[in-house]
A = this chain, B = another copy of it.
Amino acid sequence: MTDLRVRAPETTAAELDAVLEAAVAAAPAFAATRPADRADQLRQAADALDAEGPRLVPVAERESHLPTARLTGELTRTTFQLRLFAQVLEDGAYLEATLDPADPGWGMGPRPDLRRVLQPLGPVAIWAASNFPFAFSVAGGDTASALAAGAPVVLVAHPGHPELSAATAAVLGDALAAAGAPEGAFALVGGLDAGRRLVQDPRITAAAFTGSLHGGRALFDLAQQRPAPIPFYAEMGSVNPVVVTHAAAEQRPDEIAEGFVASLTLGVGQFCTKPGVLLVPAGSGLQARIAGRLGRVGAAPMLNERIAEGYGAMLGTLAAHPAVTVLAGPDRAAPDPLPTLLGTTAAALLDDPRGLTQEVFGPTGLVVTYRGRDELFAAVRAFEGQLTATIQGVDDDPDAPALLPLLTARAGRVLWNGWPTGVSVTWAMQHGGPYPATTNATTTSVGASAIDRWLRPVTYQGVPDALLPEPLQDANPWGLPRRVDGVPQPAPERV
């Protein structure tokens, strides 16, 4: 039974074809499953993954070099998000069920009976990330939101943790099957060739990716160049600028230095939300404070050799930039680097914004000193799209009111006196942002709204009640909140 569901690490063309045929065959039944039943499938998958945690975490530890506590926490996050999507399904608002009864007096002319609901697009492809072997991998956020939407998932394993991928896929696939999900609702595949074939296959209706700008853009381009293009949601990271205002630098320098170092070095700097650039007032002394603290952080292993090599190359390029000075490090001792701190000025950043705002995936930060508000604001305007942007300020900070909209225009999440690592999974979370943070700023890969990316609207005109899908029938058998004749109606009390 697991034959069709676990095809990593190197899926052949014939195997991929079988996986896709099974996904296509599963799509109608999976789409027609009651949300309450899909919620049950997600919860059973979460329970199974929790139960298998003691077996899965050591595999993750061996393959990713991440510590046990982090991986245990990440598995908690992973099963939490499966359960959050179960709540999203039970809530039902995600279907956007909208009913306009026929109205002969409608202002632009007689209106027929029109009823609109969101439906899954069909089979989707999802690429696992290296740096979250659970939460952005086989049973991760994109998988959870797609399964919640009723879209069969073909998951491309990350080569950095092949054994964990296969083990997780087996647990997830068995749990889904035991809970009644159709055969073909989930499959694991692997290999670069399979990925390239997948994104171009007409049976795939949408795709998501978390990883590098290079890899994400290449797959995005393939998806857009198809005879029939598909939505391709790539999350490609960013430098997540943090602005320290004059007032904050004066009032809380130690707290800021401590917070920055902790966020910068968390997970060996291997987060797409790592605060890669810190803008501080010139002469504030923050650089030295940070460098001092950073020197007390020990070396730690990176995820794998390939990432350590990539880190060394990116750090080397940035450290060699003529406008960059080295404040601590640089250390490229693969695979266990010490954190590195680099420095430059806002004037230099304005001269070469592209060169100085490139992401370095690993424990390196760049401190940018600015002279006065005008230079700070100009520097902020030089940033491209970001997943996050942060202000470190104080109460009634004179710089904050003008700074906040500038940062908001460039980011998907804006923080005040916080640090961007540690993305909570909630109803209100947005994990995305303007290009190059992602290829599509209008959706999120984390939080309840992520279900939207796998859905499309369909309107039924004049269709008899007995033929309508349940969300649109007069009796509202699923107990959904709906908009009727323009007026929002809450979900009826459920028995």
Contact = CB atoms under 8 A, between A and B. Distances in A.
Interface of A: 28, 73, 76-77, 80-81, 83, 87, 91, 93, 96, 98-100, 106-109, 111-112, 114-116, 119, 121-122, 220-221, 224-225, 228-231, 384-385, 395, 400-401, 404-405, 408-409, 411-418, 422, 424-430, 432, 434-436, 439-442, 444, 447, 449, 452-453, 455-464, 467, 481, 483, 485-486, 488, 490
A81 B106 CA distance: 12
A413 B229 contact: no
A458 B229 contact: no
Given A221-B225, A224-B225, A429-B459, 11 more contacts: A81-B108, A93-B483, A112-B418, A115-B428, A121-B441, A121-B442, A395-B464, A412-B456, A414-B461, A430-B458, A430-B459
B413 A459 contact: yes
A155 to B, nearest CB: 21
Contacts of A447: 116, 459
A13 to B, nearest CB: 24
B114 A73 contact: no
Name which of A422, A440, A463 has the most chain B CB atoms within 10 A of its CB: A463
A458 B114 contact: no
A467 B459 CA distance: 40
Contact of A486 (B87, B456, B485): B87
A481 B486 contact: no
A106 B84 CA distance: 11
Copies of this chain, whole number: 2
Contacts of A395: 464
Nearest to A415: B461
A449 B483 CA distance: 12
A201 to B, nearest CB: 14
Contacts of A119: 408
Given A435-B229, A441-B456, A490-B488, A467 B417 contact: no
Contact of A416 (B80, B111, B417, B461): B461
Nearest to A422: B109
Contacts of A100: 424, 426-429
Given A73-B109, A108-B76, A455 B429 contact: no
Nearest to A491: B488
Given A80-B108, A228-B435, A483-B427, A414 B444 contact: no
A106 B412 CA distance: 22
Nearest to A397: B467
Contacts of A96: 449
A211 to B, nearest CB: 17
Contact of A405 (B28, B80, B485): B28
15 contacts: A80-B107, A98-B449, A100-B424, A108-B424, A220-B224, A224-B229, A228-B434, A401-B467, A411-B458, A414-B459, A415-B462, A432-B457, A442-B455, A442-B456, A481-B488
A13 B119 CA distance: 43
Contacts of A106: 424, 426
A377 to B, nearest CB: 13
A229 to B, nearest CB: 6
A83 B107 CA distance: 10
A395 B430 CA distance: 47
A77 B439 contact: no
A460 B414 contact: yes
Given A462-B417, A486-B427, A108 B77 contact: yes
A26 to B, nearest CB: 14
A427 B458 CA distance: 13
Q: Which of A80, A106, A455, A461 gathers most chain B CB within 10 Å?
A: A461
3 shortest A-B CB distances, which residue pairs?
Answer: A430-B459, A80-B108, A224-B224
A479 B108 CA distance: 29
A449 to B, nearest CB: 7
